[in-house]
Structure 1
Amino acid sequence: MRILVFGINYAPELTGIGKYTGEMCEWLAGQGHDVEVITSMPYYPEWKIKKAYQGRWWFTETINKVKVRRTFFYVPEKVTGTTRIAHEFSFLLSSSVWWLKALFKKYDLVISPYPPLIIGIWPYLYSRFHKTKWVFHIQDLQVDAARDLGLIKNKRLLYILEHVERFFLRKANSVSSISEGMKKKILEKGISEEKYIMLPNWVDIDFIRPMSKEESMRRELGFEEKDIIILYSGNMGEKQGLEAVIPMAQKFANKSEVKIVLAGEGAAKERLMKETEANRLKNITFLPIQPYEKLSAFLAIADFHLVLQKKAASDLLLPSKLLSILSAGGCAIVTAVENSSLHKMIGETNAGWLAEPENIEDLIRILENAIDSPSKNIQKKENARKYALKYLNKDEILSNFQNVISGQS
């Protein structure tokens, strides 16, 4: 098949949508498909264009058999509602150069990972012009999250965004998403189950594997064997509920062996660093994103992994960091609303500890219980790895997706 993918995030971004879109495209190209991508310069999660791509405009590169067409765009230094809208629209406009050329080519399938919402405009127009199949792939229900998390409060704007989203959902030939909870919400928007495709996120279970503390990066990063490390690794955004970290650090301030490590970038990082300094907290360490090739060794430094989610974000997204934790056989402390996909994933398999979202007292209670329960932690780590082996295999997930889209072309 000849496949065109349109998304604002792509490899070599190491986290979030760009990581999964890149791996999907490279896997499909490896199966013999002709895959092209229209995307931006890599910038996420630092919100800064990577050095190798700075100062460039429109150009094409080939990454692992995938032809990647890059475009320049606006990346704000400070992410706000207004600057984010400008950021997304600048990409939509600058990518039109590639789309005008694409109109003279025939693709069998167009895939557009969402968010951002405006990503649906060009695929919709192209699919109508060429009668090409279009898959609208949802990694994050952006409009619902903006409303429920209070990121957008203008009712008129929300009304418009909700109607644009429903328009794309109706016009796409297929709609895919990553969890049963998201599927339920999508079907509630009036989408028939016949056009729905389940495409869960995955992990490279052979590359990301359990490692001992001795094999980990503990010594390299300056931590000791006796340290009890609570790790958060990933995007530090406003949806993650990271405000819980400060009172947690205050609670454990008198236990010198308990160390909280926050690794990654994002809109909330600067605020967290300022709060840490203002509260004179010595038990929080900030680290940059670690190299992917060292991910197993890095995850192995942790005794516990934080997977935090706000109540309002329940089933609007699924934290991708959890998949790597499960594959690494990590012990996760997960905040999840009861009966949500995240809660069921952990609770039904006993693959981690569950706490109530946005309840600091409950989170601290669970952490204290976990620290005092070494035998339970061993079992949860074993269950985590078993879950990854059974459900998160990249080859199996993408093979199933390939079978579905091949039948549609």
Structure 2
Amino acid sequence: MRILIYGLNYAPELTGIGKYTGEMASWLAKRGHEVRVVAAPPYYPAWRIWDEYRSSLYRTERVPGQPVVFRTPLYVPEKPSGMRRILHLFSFMVGSLPVMLRQVFWQPEIVFTVEPTFFGAPLALFVAQTAGAASWLHVQDFEVDAAFELGLLPAKGPIHSLALTLEVFFTNAFTRVSSISTKMVERSVAKGVPAEQAVLFPNWVDVEAIQPLEGPNGFRRELGLEDKIVLLYSGNMGNKQGLEVLGPIAQSFAPGASHADERVHFLFCGDGTFRPKLEAMVGGLPNVTLLPLQPFSRLNELLNAADIHLLPQRAGAADLVMPSKLTGMLSSGRPVIATSDAGTQVAHVVGDEARPCGLVVPAEDAEALHAAVVELIMNPGLRAEFGANAREYAVEHLGREQVLLQFERDLAQAI
């Protein structure tokens, strides 16, 4: 198949959508498909274009056996606000326009585009229709819904109505619409996508690269945490993650606090727009260590440094943005504490009644989060049970090879 992938984020970004789109494109190329990618230069999650990509507006990357990658310019705000984010997303569509139009002459058989950014959907559809190709929209985040429900844009008025109308019009024009959880697929169908055109395409994890480790841990040794109970948050530190709860929970266990516990240590690792605020909240606390985003080569060791993974989310976000970091947490064989509303996909996976992988507490409920942390700190047997369940779930449902083989079959059926 000749596959054109159009997406804002792409490898070598280490977190989120760029990581998954990069792995998907590389896997397809190794399977013998002709793959081209139109993407922005790497900038996420630091919101700064990498230095080695600053020398040119447009560039083409050709590596034998890998996809051909066309990098196009965009505006990257230093401090992304609501309107600046819109300009950022729109600028990618404008910057990529000439490159995408040239791909018509390549005659792709399918045009695959990723939301965000939804601004690219009309261009992807135009290229697909002009080239006589099938079109596929993959929803990693419900960008339009999230912008309003998370307060990035006003939730009422003509802008809201227009955005929803355009979303329905363009979404329903795609040959296939996929998303990363069953709840998100159901949301697509509720928006009008015919059920036969809606596809589940979950994020995955390399269960061989991310697996439980026994014995001494390098991160624990380097940070002097061998005898601690480590609670880890690792990933993007953005506004939609609900990281506001991390500061108070760490403060509640710090020396001198009412629930002080010298056994407990918090490890926060990542980068993003919320990081300076988090640093201000926990700066000086002896029971907190802040680390920058780590390379993939150390990811398994980092995830295994945890006794408990923390997965905070803002209220209302859990079925708009399925956290990609959850796959690695589960595959590492460690329990998860998630802040998520009942009935959401996150709550279903983590708090499954038959095989729970951890504890689920209401989003933004600091008291419930504290109680869950105490429960797992005090019960190592429960931590081990949840961790074993998490690993089993990852192996059974999230293995990279099985997910991408099914995706390849779905691609072929769409053409």
- Per the TM superposition, whether the score is higher than 0.5 is yes
1:81, CA displacement in angstroms? 1.3
2:404 matched residue in structure 1: 398
2:57 alignment partner in structure 1: 57
Comparing 268-277 and 113-122, the one that deviates more: 268-277
Q: Aligned partners of 2:235, 2:161: CA distance in 1, in Å?
A: 31
Moved more, 175-184 or 245-254: 245-254
**Structure 2 equivalent of residue 16 of structure 1:** 16
Partner of 2:201: 199
Alignment correspondent of 1:90: 91
Identity, % of aligned positions = 38
Q: Deviations over 1:126-159 (max 9, x none)?
A: 1222221000000011111122111211632222
Instruction: After the TM superposition, list the runs of 4 or more consecutive aligned residues in structure 1 that deviate by more than 6 angstroms.
Output: none
Give the 5 Å matches for 1:244-263.
Answer: 244-254=245-255, 255-263=261-269
1:5 aligns with 2:31: no
- Count of residue pairs brought into register by the alignment: 406
Q: Is the 8 A contact 2:39 2:72 kept in 1?
A: yes
**Counterpart contact for 2:62–2:69, Cα < 8 Å:** yes
Aligned residue type for 2:404: L
Which residue does 1:41 correspond to in 2? 41
Question: Corresponding residue for 2:235?
Answer: 234
| Structure 2 contact 81–152 (Cα < 8 Å) conserved | no
Equivalent in 249, 256, 264 of residue 270 of structure 2: 264
Q: 1:213: Cα distance to partner?
A: 5.3
Could you tell me which residue of structure 2 aligns to residue 214 of structure 1?
216
Q: Which amino acid aligns with 1:29?
A: A
Between the aligned partners of 2:320 and 2:330, the Cα distance in structure 1 is 21
Q: Is the 8 A contact 1:6 1:37 kept in 2?
A: yes
The residue correspondences of 1:304-383 to structure 2 (distance < 5 A) are: 304-348=308-352, 349-383=355-389
Unaligned runs of 5+ in 1: none
Match of 1:178 in 2: 180
Q: Which position in structure 1 is the counterpart of 2:298?
A: 294
CA RMSD of aligned residues (A): 1.3
Conserved 8 A contact 1:323-1:392: yes
- Determine the C-alpha separation between the residues in 2 that align with 1:184 and 1:100: 33
Q: Give me the whole-angstrom Cα distance separating, in 2, the residues matched to 1:355 and 1:174.
A: 34
- SS in structure 2 of the partner of residue 333 of structure 1: strand
Distance in 2, matches of 1:162 and 1:307, equals: 29
Q: Deviations over 1:253-291 (max 9, x none)?
A: 1223321111111111111112334xx533222111011
CA drift of 1:358 comes to 1.0
CA distance in structure 2 between the aligned counterparts of 1:62 and 1:327, rounded to whole angstroms: 32
CA distance in 2, matches of 1:169, 1:391: 27
Indicate if the aligned counterparts of 1:216 and 1:300 stay in contact, CA closer than 8 A: no
The Cα offsets for residues 234-262 of structure 1, whole Å up to 9 and x where unpaired, read as: 01111111111121122101223321111
Question: Which residue of structure 2 lines up, in the alignment, with residue 137 of structure 1?
Answer: 138
Query: In the TM superposition, what whole-angstrom CA distance separates every residue of 1:90-122 from its partner, at most 9, and x where no partner exists?
Result: 211111121231122211000001011102021
Is contact 2:101-2:127 (8 Å) kept?
no
**Unmatched runs of 5 consecutive residues or more in structure 2:** 256-260
- Aligned residue for 1:389? 395
TM superposition shift of 1:359: 0.6
